[in-house]
Amino acid sequence: MQFSMVPLNFLPADGVADYVSSGTWSKKASRRAKRCGRVNVAATTEETNFNHLPTAFNYSADAAYVHFTTNETIHGVEFMTEPYSGDKPLICDMSSDIASHPLNVAKYALIYAGAQKNLGPAGATLVILREDMLERVPEGLHTMLDYKVMAENDSLYNTPPCFGIYIIGLVAKHWLGLGGLRAVAELNQRKAGYIYQAIDGSDGFYRGHAEKAARSLMNITFRMPTEDLEKQLISEATAAGFNGLKGTGPWAACERRSTTRSRWRGAKRSRSLWGTSRRRTARGFAPLRHRMPRSTPARGISFCLRQPRW
């Protein structure tokens, strides 16, 4: 819904909005915005299948705002710093890496993030909106799509998802107990490092999708040597009771709050490349072990796997 709310609230009928396209989700955001008004794709890396981040930006002189997505779950690229937007309001989709590291929110006009990735259960969305942006909201919007209505009613115009918000509060207390977001960021770097080390040390058996400079700490994407091996992995996964992994893109190891360092260490010690897991995490991702045929030496560590759809 935020894909539509942003342009409905902040893209004037005679204006233009700049969108940075670095993967599937930012591309979808720009497509949705085009239903509401004029959109300029200021930068895109689609020509290389979104395997790196844009370095050159063609911004509009009179853009109403600049929109980008910090982390692309499907292609495994992540902005570690904000793209320069000059004096244009910077709007960001942080759904998949919110609260994974310290953040200076003062740089942004608006941040939105679905809770389901890092914050808590699906059904709640975090929106951080700079107050002066409310002056830009036009009159006559549908009530539930109007940021001004939400702000004036303290996000209580209708009954909010109380249980989801309660869980988000518990998760936040947990982070504080760990030492805050600086400690969380250090933990994320270590966990992602285990997987990238296995990919880089596999002699090409695993092939990372994203260029090293753009690698995500949340979604580690890679391919296997052949499509036949990937089909075999899907087949064995289905036989082991894990359905819905088949897609058309690279495999992704999804590193979320529910994945602990001890689980990665245990996975690293495992020599098998496929097997079953007896428990699922709170977010639905289970640490999966992968066993290759006897003729293929096991190389690497276990991954929390899914194969995304493009």
What amino acid positions are annotated as catalytic residues?
25, 93, 117
Q: Annotate 67-89 with b (16+ C-beta within 10 A) or e (fewer).
A: bbbbbbbbbbbbbeeebebeebb
Q: Measuring CA to CA, which residue among 108, 151, 102 is closest to residue 130?
A: 108
Whether the Cβ atoms of residue 220 and residue 195 lie closer than 8 Å to each other: yes
Strands 251-254 and 219-223, by their bridges, are: antiparallel
Q: Where are the beta strands (DSSP E) in 74-164?
A: 77-78, 90-93, 110-114, 125-129
CA 73 to chain centre: 4
* 149-165: burial string, b at 16+ Cβ within 10 Å, e else: ebbeeeeeeeeebeebb
Q: Rounded to whole angstroms, how far apart are CA atoms 222 and 295?
A: 22
